[in-house]
Amino acid sequence: MGGELQQFKADFFKALSHPLRIRILELLSEGEKSVNEIQSILNKEGSAVSQQLSLLRAKNIVVGTKDGKRVLYSLRDPMIMNLLEVAREIFNNHLIDTITMFEELDDTDSNKTTKEEPVEY
């Protein structure tokens, strides 16, 4: 049973591993939207949006409900946005660490490039 849970997690994260899918999920966190609304907001072709929505639907991350001739998509579980927010915080922490490292390297390089006065004996 343990292996099944890891496989579910791996498949779930694989489904989230595309920038357009992440952006679609961020849009759907604001409320349900049709394919046309999503493609208009993202300035993407309908086929690209439809393809990504199809994958997200197959992984039970989004659901589609028929509204006349159109399908409105929404998040299956709003907790997905919590997960994406945590991912953003992790990214920000890594970014802060990287910036700090570069600042420390810059300080070290600045100290090396200053000319030392000759010592007289």
- Compute CA 59 distance to the chain's CA centroid, rounded to the nearest angstrom: 17
Structure tokens at 72: 């409105």
CA dihedral 39, 43, 47, 50 (to 10 degrees): -30
Given this model, what pLDDT does residue 119 score? Answer: 61
DSSP for 55-117 reads HHHHTTSEEEEEETTEEEEEES-THHHHHHHHHHHHHHHHHHHHHHHHHHHHHHHHHHHSPPP
Quick one: what percent of the chain has pLDDT higher than 90?
Answer: 63
Given this model, what pLDDT does residue 33 score? Answer: 96
Given this model, what pLDDT does residue 75 score? Answer: 97
> For residue range 39-97, what is the model confidence (pLDDT) as tens digits?
999 999 879 999 999 999 999 999 999 989 999 999 999 999 999 999 989 988 888 88
**35: amino acid identity, one letter:** V
Given this model, what pLDDT does residue 107 score? Answer: 78
Given this model, what pLDDT does residue 98 score? Answer: 85
Q: Please tell me the distance from the alpha carbon of residue 99 to that of residue 92, in angstroms, as a whole number.
A: 10
